[in-house]
Chain A
Amino acid sequence: ETGVTQTPRHLVMGMTNKKSLKCEQHLGHNAMYWYKQSAKKPLELMFVYSLEERVENNSVPSRFSPECPNSSHLFLHLHTLQPEDSALYLCASSQERGRNTEAFFGQGTRLTVV
């Protein structure tokens, strides 16, 4: 248990579906991240929220829509995805300020788009 929980762990969806990934952190952190990791590829930073405000959007297609209602929860809303969007989606959280800024990851959601 890392303190960062992601649901669901696995998701299979069609290209016309709408689904959401959820991330919840119990560490009192104030920054949360979404990463995408395709097979045998490095982590790709998608979105960063700091103090519930989006501070980074790394040219992510609009079919991915993040939402951060409070500092403990982060969502990634998905619609009309493509097969190439199949990947491991990782959520992480950290403390924005101070020295202890290490990021802790959730277990990830393995997404398959069919």
Chain B
Amino acid sequence: QKEVEQNSGPLSVPEGAIASLNCTYSDRGSQSFFWYRQYSGKSPELIMFIYSNGDKEDGRFTAQLNKASQYVSLLIRDSQPSDSATYLCAVWYSSASKIIFGSGTRLSIRP
């Protein structure tokens, strides 16, 4: 099993709809979870982080964490064409003292 797993996509969502991105991880001891957005040819930028079970909202973004099921998700409400990018899930692996990234999900918002 990959340490951090994401569906590579592409995920196509109509403008204005909700985009849902999912990520699973293998280390039960992980405490910190991050979502990064990467535009083509650019470096990843941090958009959300979550440490506790439940939901965390920031503007149009909501991160959801379920430690028992070992998954973390990102919801993007009122999707805009500018949201089209690759979204990377990252997990802090305390057992290895490093951040592990998933391979990313490519999101495309169609007008």
Contacts and interface: CB of A to CB of B under 8 A. Distances in A.
Given A102-B49, A104-B46, A45 B97 contact: no
A52 to B, nearest CB: 14
A102 B34 contact: yes
B44 interface: yes
B31 A99 contact: yes
Contacts of A50: 97-98
B97 A102 contact: no
A34 interface: no
Say which size band chain B's interface belongs to. Answer: 20 to 34
A90 to B, nearest CB: 6
Interface stretch (B63-71, B75-83, B99-107): B99-107
A107 interface: yes
Contacts of A66: none
A23 B102 CA distance: 23
B23 to A, nearest CB: 13
B101 A42 contact: yes
A21 interface: no
A107 B43 contact: yes
A90 B49 contact: no
14 contacts: A33-B99, A42-B103, A43-B44, A45-B101, A55-B98, A88-B41, A88-B43, A92-B99, A101-B99, A102-B46, A102-B49, A103-B46, A108-B42, A108-B43
Interface of A: 2, 31, 33, 42-43, 45, 48, 50, 55-56, 88, 90, 92, 94, 96-97, 99, 101-108, 110
